[in-house]
Amino acid sequence: MRYKVLAVAALLIFTTSGAFAASAADLLKQQRSRINAAITARNALLDRIHFTGHNDDSLQLASINASELTVAYALQALENVIELVRPAARQTNSGGAGAGAGSLRGVGEPMLTLCQVQMTQMASDSAELVDWRIRDEVQKQIENVRAACGAIGAVTN
C-alpha cells in the first residue's frame, strides 16, 4: 500500500512540467544546502580543535573543499538549467514532465559523472587524513555529496 501511495505521489509531482521543475529545483537546493551546512560544521570543528594545518591534513582538506564546492556549483548550474527549461516545457503541447526531463538528459550525464569523480576524490583524500575527528566529519560530507549525485541522477533521468 505504501508503495502505491508513493507511486501516486510521484506521478502527481511529475504530471506537469512546472511541478517537475519546482520539485527538481527544490531537491537540488536541498542538497546544496546540506553541502553548505556540512562545510560550515567542518569549519566550526576546525576552529574548535584549533586546527592549524598539521601533517598533510591541510592539503587533503583543500582538495576535499574543492571537490565539495565543485558539486555545489554543479547543483547550482543544474538549478539554473531547470529554470531555463521550465518555460520551454510549459509551451509544448505534450505536457507532463517529459518535455522538461528530456531536455535535461544531455546535461545530466556529464554532471553526474563530474559528481561521482568528485565523490571518489573526496573519499581518497579522506582516507589520507591523519586526524580522526576531521576524517569523521568529512565522512558526513561524502554522504551529502553521494546524495547530491543521486539527486542529479533523479532530476535528469
Task: Give the C-alpha separation, 112 to 78, whole Å.
Answer: 11
Domain that residue 59 falls in: 2-156
Give me the amino acid identity at 4. K
- Taking 50 as the threshold, does the pLDDT of residue 14 lie above it? no
CATH number reported for the structural domain that contains residue 22 in this entry: 1.20.120
Task: Give the C-alpha separation, 47 to 99, whole Å.
Answer: 48
Q: What is the pLDDT of residues 126-136, one digit of tens each?
A: 999 988 889 99
Split into its structural domains, the chain has a count of: 1
Residue 47's region, left for phi above 0, alpha for psi from -120 to 50, else beta, is alpha
Give the residue with greater pLDDT, 73 vs 17: 73
Residue 23 exposed, middle or buried by CB count within 10 Å (0-12, 13-18, 19+): middle
